[in-house]
Amino acid sequence: LILFAFSPPLPLLQQIKKQQQDVLGFLEANKIEFEEKDIAANEENRKWMRENVPEESRPASGNPLPPRLFNDSRYLGDYNAFFEARENNAVYAFLGLTAPPGSKVGELLPHSEP
């Protein structure tokens, strides 16, 4: 699982930082292994993220902003998609992962093919 993050200029800073912390907090609390990639400090990461966000998921103008989630090179979505999946107890399905045995989330997920 790959999470692209960065430190944007104000006023986006607070909103994006909060969203990034929300995703990070969930992944850490649920012991989901991930790799965080900072796009502010690494041009390669920024370029990769921008090139791999599908056209239909890009903003009308400008570049896609983090947090963006990928499972290897497969684009999963942005913070809003993550938040919606979490609200619907479907985060593991959203992330393309199998829910841990006995988890409430695992019981509520529909069966999905990889």
Question: Rounded to an integer, what is the distance from CA 9 to the centroid of its chain?
Answer: 20
pLDDT in tens, the chain (114 residues): 767 666 555 667 788 889 999 999 999 999 999 999 998 889 999 999 999 999 999 999 888 989 999 999 999 999 999 999 999 999 999 999 998 887 765 444 444 444
Which domains does the chain carry?
2-95 (3.40.30.10)
For residues 111 and 109, what is the distance between their CA atoms, to the nearest angstrom? 6
For residues 49 and 45, what is the distance between their CA atoms, to the nearest angstrom? 6
